[in-house]
Chain A
């Protein structure tokens, strides 16, 4: 790995990945968004407004918690640090991007936002920002996901958003994005598509990364200030890849810091039911960008499978594809079962219930810790809290049956 300035890279291309593979009807809107974002980026008042909202509304900076009892399960003499994005308002890292894009929506004079959501975290964050800024909000959510994340549907509705269940295709996140893109093509004049991950056409991958890079920027400084060293390794879960790139970005040029992204392997690596795009996919064009994706030989997108709605996506952000091919980040798969075990372990050792998405990173840390030399330290993006997953977890661990029996 040569010493290069990876951090300064901005789209539209990341190596052979990225670009704008969208209908011409959207180009003017993407141009407008890019221009607005570039102007805002150069305007100190924008950064100041964003920082103030993060301080007084999001709850930034998020703290770092050392997970000492959890670390006992992660090999010998390994320290584990959690970047607590779960403590942000709305319960995940998603708010970082949403607040930024909502400010841009106002700058563009648009009055309506649309969003896709898988687990519902991005939908909830979008609905929250819409309420805060007085914007109309429509959230597209695969019908399958509205069922497994019913609580988040209720949250979005309570916040005043309209939630539209998507019944086409595989009825999950991928199809929610298709439906949001169709809405955007038709309503682009007054509508901003508040895309929730680092995928999609340029400028989304760069812009969404920039809004989430606060995670790594804070964490890097916190590690130095509070502990006096940078971690041996970083770990994050990867679906589209927003929380991972948010953590990684500030460290990309710290060549001593290893980076690991953990994809959802569903039934397990080597089985046909997974969402491990970077491990099993190949480059193609999906949702406006060239990147790794799960597809058959004809280029038809294949359905992904994961217990985690937020990672159940057959694509991934183009910057991750680039970082994989460069060898800067290693991407591994974590099965449903491994993730659920890690979810329970963190709950019982630290009193922190993580989101199922996040649990994939924690399961990765349990394995990784055993490979790293003694004295290593791992910084994990604790990207979201698990409240939304209680029904899934309750069923998985048989807790709801027990509760029913106790009632009877």
Chain B
């Protein structure tokens, strides 16, 4: 099974470039606004897009993303619009689009319905922050059937056995959680990030791994790419957009990706 996400990450690395994975919430501030913002990110240096599904109880997210997704929900975001957004984005750009979603919306939509509609819209797969492999039996089967990426998390506290499971069962990449905490910019990306990536490498010789949580500067993006397969940035993009709209978001994307490409 070929993963477009994995192929993209590997091709860039093979060419000596780095990877920037960018998060933006669907429906923020409106559906149209989020589509425009996502396309702008993909056209200005983001290699893989992580499109977030606004959810009422986002326990992995810090205040910047919480506030943005709350705006989306208050503006009437409906789950089905996720597929509209994916369809509109993938019509314009060739960037792999992963949907980042808490598990209950998928469960309520129906796991298979969700997978089928995501494939039809051109989406690449799911990142599931509150679904551990142990609870993912049905999702594993359905994502195989629909050939979707599935990104599980590896953390500083994951045991070697759990890390191996995350590597074996993830497709696309393993989300290396850089630090024990929730999303949001931090001055220093924890030394833990290197350790987590080292744990991934120990567990698997083939799995891609990208580092997320706390990354907001070009220096951090470059540093993380020196030992992993990509840097994941979320809050910094959302903040740029909320402060300066799509122009500021473009500028932030260019700023963070500039030193990754030869």
Contact = CB atoms under 8 A, between A and B. Distances in A.
B226 interface: no
A285 B104 contact: yes
A28 B180 CA distance: 12
Contacts of A19: 135
A27 B154 CA distance: 11
B182 A28 contact: no
Contact of B166 (A24, A287, A298): A24
Given A20-B132, A22-B132, A27-B132, A169 B153 contact: no
A73 B78 CA distance: 49
Interface in A12-54: 19-25, 27-29, 31
Contacts of B105: 298-300
Interface string B49-65: 00000011111101100
A182 interface: yes
B180 A23 contact: no
Interface in B127-184: 129-132, 134-135, 152-159, 162, 166, 177, 180-182
Contacts of A25: 153, 155-157, 177, 180-181
Nearest to B131: A21
A22 B104 contact: no
B180 A185 contact: yes
B104 A24 contact: no
Contacts of B78: 298
A154 interface: no
B104 A284 contact: yes
A287 B55 CA distance: 13
A185 B184 CA distance: 13
Interface string A279-292: 00000111110000
B117 to A, nearest CB: 13
A284 B108 contact: yes
Interface residues of A, number: 34
Interface in B100-136: 103-109, 129-132, 134-135
Secondary structure call for the A interface: mixed
Interface in B38-55: 55
Contact of B181 (A186, A288, A298): A186
A301 B55 CA distance: 8
B181 A185 contact: yes
B107 A23 contact: no
Nearest to A186: B181
A186 B180 contact: yes
Contacts of A287: 57, 59
A300 B55 contact: yes
B135 A21 contact: yes
Contact of A284 (B58, B62, B107): B107
Interface in A165-212: 168-169, 174-175, 178, 181-182, 185-189
Contact of B158 (A28, A178, A188, A286): A28
A58 interface: no
A196 B129 CA distance: 24
Nearest to A182: B182
Nearest to B106: A299
B91 to A, nearest CB: 24
B104 A299 contact: yes
A55 B152 CA distance: 47
Nearest to B55: A300
B73 interface: yes
Contacts of A225: none
B56 A169 contact: yes
A92 interface: no
Contacts of B57: 169, 174-175, 178, 286-287, 301
Contacts of B56: 169, 300-301
Contact of B59 (A178, A189, A295): A178
A31 B155 CA distance: 14
A295 B106 CA distance: 13
Contacts of B154: 24
A405 interface: no
A301 B180 CA distance: 26
**Shortest 4 CB-CB distances between A and B: which pairs?**
A299-B108, A28-B157, A186-B181, A298-B79
11 contacts: A23-B59, A23-B177, A24-B166, A25-B155, A25-B157, A182-B182, A188-B157, A284-B104, A287-B57, A298-B109, A300-B73
Interface of B: 55-60, 62-63, 66, 70, 73, 78-79, 103-109, 129-132, 134-135, 152-159, 162, 166, 177, 180-182
Interface of A: 19-25, 27-29, 31, 168-169, 174-175, 178, 181-182, 185-189, 284-288, 295, 297-301
Given A21-B103, A21-B130, 19 more contacts: A20-B135, A22-B132, A23-B129, A24-B152, A24-B153, A25-B180, A27-B155, A28-B157, A178-B59, A182-B59, A182-B182, A185-B60, A188-B180, A284-B107, A284-B108, A285-B130, A287-B57, A300-B55, A301-B104
